[in-house]
Amino acid sequence: MAVLAESGSNPDVELLYDINGLAKAAPHWFDRVMEFVGEYGLPVAMVLLVLGCWLFVRRRGGPDAVPSVAALVWAPLAAAVAVLVNVPIRGFVERPRPFMDHQGLDVLIAGKSDYSFVSDHATITMAIGVGLFVANRRFGIAGIALALLEGFCRVFMGVHYPTDVIGGFALGTAVALLLSPPATALLTPLVRAIARSPRAGRLVSAPPAGGGRGDALFSGGRETAGSGEKDLAA
């Protein structure tokens, strides 16, 4: 069993008290808002951001629609894979929640009895944020910003050490980036097959206002190589 940051002189613990101390100084209503945002609000916002990015990519269409949608599908899948990877990490480290080892914390949400390292919330939100960045830079920056806010909320709530959050950010980023090439290589043919369907193809690209869907969506590498600006990490 590995033990992290058990000394009160440790910078990790000191930063925990500094950030969580803001909860003690804040009004009760603000703590309740932060509790909801940190536990439920930001994860829901990440889902809505993924849906918003999908609508944007679908509406724009063009030859980059298939690879962009494939990369977008990978974003939530990356979060799921990262959480699975975190299961053995938590079991190996076995780090208790900070309020179990340190007195005087203002814990905003009760019932957290599982291990603390690494933070699932930080892992999930950062994996989605980085996955979004691969698909579309503007939405990805917004997602990463929300993930950073989620990490702050977890420490503010007194349920994670700062290093729990940093570890979650690192894990989510690593999974989303390192597995992105093989994942999109597998997902792109599937998305392309869906795009060819007269009905399901609307999930990938909205029909142009003038009528037919056109051939650009299915032209593959020839037109993509000659196209101008691309959504994928652009």
Predicted local distance difference test score (pLDDT) of residue 199: 81
Q: What is the largest CA-CA distance in the chain?
A: 68
The candidate with the shortest Cα–Cα distance to 35, out of 156, 132, 129, 117, is 156
Among 87-101, 117-131, 215-229, where is mean pLDDT lowest? 215-229
* 159 pLDDT more than 90: yes
Q: Percent of the chain at pLDDT above 90?
A: 59
Per-residue tokens: 66? 């298939």
Predicted local distance difference test score (pLDDT) of residue 124: 96
Q: What is the mean pLDDT of residues 180-206?
A: 87
* 222 pLDDT more than 50: no
pTM, full prediction? 0.82
User: Could you read off the pLDDT of 78-92 as tens digits, one per residue?
Assistant: 999 999 999 999 999
Question: Which are the contacts of 172, defined by CB distance < 8 A and separation ≥ 6?
Answer: 78, 79, 82, 122, 123, 124, 125, 126, 127, 128, 129, 130, 147
Predicted local distance difference test score (pLDDT) of residue 114: 87
**Which band of pLDDT confidence, cut at 50, 70 and 90, is reported for residue 73?**
very high
